[in-house]
Each structure stands twice: as structure tokens, then as C-alpha cells.
């Protein structure tokens, strides 16, 4: 089994309408149309990742037995490229500094949307 990491959109579902919603500032449920949320094409390949080198991105959370975090928290502890290459396992994968940068760009893009995204990994 490989080490899998993926970005997940998290939405509440309205039990009456069966549609996604969010709470407005005045605590009312507002239905949400997710159709405008489309990951930019050049970032799509970073939505689902596999490889042992990804432990460099999750190490702090694994120490706390956490395998799901919000994107904003994941970005707070996003490692430098130097930290990633310190774990030599990245070299057997097709993962370069450009990928590292684009993966971070995906997470930053997620933060610009008006919904929640999580980062999940297998262990």
C-alpha cells in the first residue's frame, strides 16, 4: 500500500434541500452552488498524490496522530523544499521543486474559495 495524500472539499448538506450549504454571518443556512469551483488545470495533478516522500509534508501532524487537517493549518507547517529533499525518498519519484511549488499553489488557491478544503493522508 502506498502513502496517499489528497485535497478534499468539505461541505455541509442541507437535510431539507439535499444541497450543499454554508452558514452565513447571521447563522442562517445559505445554499451553495459549487459549480464555479474548478481547480485550475495546471494544478489538478496535485489534488491526489502518492509517494513516501509526502511524509515530509505531514510529519508534524503524524506526531499528533492526525491524518486530516484544514488547508490553512497544513499551509502553516508547509515544509521548505530543503526539508523535502532532506528525506532522500523524494528522488525515486517524479517530484521536483516545481511540483513542490505548484502543490503549495493549489493549497493557496483552495484558501481563496468560500468553502473548506481538507488535506487527508493514509497514515
- For 75-108, write each residue's pLDDT tens digit: 999 999 999 888 766 677 888 999 999 999 999 9
Q: How many domains in the chain? A: 1
In contact, 122 and 4? CB cutoff 8 Å: yes
Mean pLDDT of the chain: 88
Query: What pLDDT is attached to residue 90?
Result: 65
Instruction: Give the pLDDT of residue 80.
Output: 94
How far, in Å, CA of 59 to CA of 64, rounded?
A: 9
Average pLDDT over residues 43-57: 92
Mean pLDDT of 17-45: 86
DSSP code of 123? -
Q: Considering the domain boundaries, does residue 31 fall inside one?
A: no
- Residue 20 in any domain: the answer is no
Quick check: is 35 in a domain?
no
The distance in angstroms from the start CA to the end CA of the chain is 10
What strand order describes the sheet that includes 68-70? 48-50, 4-10, 116-121, 68-70
Q: Which domain holds residue 85?
A: 4-10+40-121
Q: Where are the alpha helices (DSSP H) in the chain?
A: 55-62, 71-76, 81-86, 97-112
In this prediction, residue 89 carries a pLDDT of: 67
Instruction: Give me 59's grid cell.
Output: 510529519
Is 43 a residue whose pLDDT tops 90? yes
Find the farthest-apart pair of alpha carbons in the chain and give their distance in angstroms, rounded.
Answer: 51
Amino acid at each position: 500500500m502506498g502513502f496517499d495524500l489528497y485535497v478534499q472539499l468539505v461541505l455541509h448538506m442541507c437535510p431539507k434541500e439535499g444541497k450543499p450549504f454554508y452558514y452565513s454571518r447571521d447563522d442562517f443556512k445559505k445554499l451553495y452552488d459549487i459549480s464555479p469551483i474548478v481547480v485550475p488545470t495546471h494544478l489538478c495533478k496535485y489534488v491526489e498524490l502518492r509517494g513516501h516522500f509526502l511524509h515530509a509534508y505531514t510529519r508534524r501532524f503524524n506526531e499528533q496522530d492526525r491524518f486530516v487537517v484544514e488547508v490553512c493549518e497544513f499551509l502553516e507547517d508547509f515544509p521548505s523544499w530543503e526539508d523535502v529533499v532532506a528525506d532522500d525518498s523524494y528522488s525515486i519519484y517524479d517530484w521536483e521543486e516545481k511540483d513542490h511549488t505548484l502543490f503549495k499553489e493549489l493549497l493557496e488557491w483552495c484558501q481563496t474559495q468560500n468553502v473548506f478544503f481538507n488535506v487527508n493522508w493514509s497514515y
